Homo-oligomer: A and B are copies of this chain.
């Protein structure tokens, strides 16, 4: 693991998620760019001191020298955005498969570069667009894929939060500080941190690519350098229309990612904060309350569920689904067997490029007087 030292939020989540199913164990880490903090974090994690490194370069150099079976099998990157690319690049070039936090890189250019490296090294790359790990997100995708909703016409995806309604970054809050700092976050804050999840979620569920956008990004909190709110009109490849809005200044909202998809025959609604319920909507018969664990669910939903109905699974378990699929695929590769196609269901470098293209497209659109900006393709 690179990053995720004391005080970090997402590092802890990655550790819980990766180890939840007992298929993986943390064996080493460079948890902070400050060597002492890295050591301290490693100690708290019960790691042997020789596997706790002061810097990621040291970790890759040392680990690759260890005999097979002893060295780490893959690396997880949970640093701020600006370090994603250099760490991933060195990891891959040192022969280590990578599981990376999103956004994949600091810029679209880096993302394209990273794709080349992944292609060249042939190593497995995963990206934790974790919300696609929820079983009912997979059910939603299956509903679209199997035509239950008919041709998709309209998509509304939103991600309101309220935690940055004041200038929290001035209080020393770490999460706020790096996200609103262009040097570490990139050219977008709200769109880069959460808008990108909305983009990924709607493309994952519908299988449709956004083709053009019309964005209106705003920085509401005075003195903040990057956007903290954004409203975006969307056009999709098949003619579908959509709205994406995300916000960090919507007071009282927690982490309210949700999506609604409407086709010619039916619709669906899913809310991240109530993740075990998926509503199927119909015009001529009652809406249905699809529930995680239901015997009637599709294979992809059931395969990503651990508990019976009514025993709620949530954020960590959804996150763990990405890890499980990634790890089982990696294991197959290491064992020289064909990976189970069911396990290939985790975001990778293509999703990473689309995410970076989304960020750059909405920022460009927001600055433009022209209505529609083409989604940056690769």
A residues sitting closer than 8 Å to B (CB atoms) are 9, 12-13, 15-16, 19-22, 26, 45-46, 149, 153-154, 156, 158, 160-163, 165, 214, 216, 218, 220, 229, 231, 233, 241-243, 245, 247, 249-256, 260, 262-267, 272-276, 279-291, 293-296, 306-317, 368-372
Contact = CB atoms under 8 A, between A and B. Distances in A.
Given A16-B306, A252-B267, A241 B218 contact: yes
A374 B274 CA distance: 39
A92 B26 CA distance: 32
A317 B263 CA distance: 34
Nearest to A23: B46
**Which of A153, A295, A312 neighbours the largest number of chain B CB atoms within 10 Å of its CB?**
A312
A252 B229 contact: no
B161 A310 contact: yes
4 cross-chain pairs, A with B, having the tightest CB-CB distances, nearest first: A252-B281, A254-B310, A255-B310, A312-B314
Contact of A153 (B149, B249, B312): B249
B282 A251 contact: yes
25 contacts: A13-B307, A19-B19, A154-B229, A156-B245, A161-B310, A162-B281, A165-B264, A247-B262, A250-B262, A251-B262, A252-B280, A252-B287, A253-B262, A273-B310, A273-B312, A275-B312, A285-B296, A286-B291, A288-B288, A311-B315, A312-B312, A312-B315, A313-B314, A313-B315, A368-B371
A249 B9 contact: no
A293 B163 CA distance: 12
Contacts of A251: 149, 262-267, 281-283
Given A20-B16, A20-B20, A317-B314, A255 B309 contact: yes
Identical chains bound together, number: 4
Contacts of A276: 273
A286 B280 contact: yes
A244 B177 CA distance: 32
A174 to B, nearest CB: 12
Given A245-B243, A316-B316, A308 B9 contact: yes
Contacts of A272: 310, 312
Contacts of A254: 291, 293, 308-310
Contacts of A311: 255, 314-315
A244 to B, nearest CB: 9
A47 to B, nearest CB: 10
Given A254-B309, A281-B252, A46 B22 contact: yes
A227 to B, nearest CB: 11
Contacts of A281: 162, 251-253
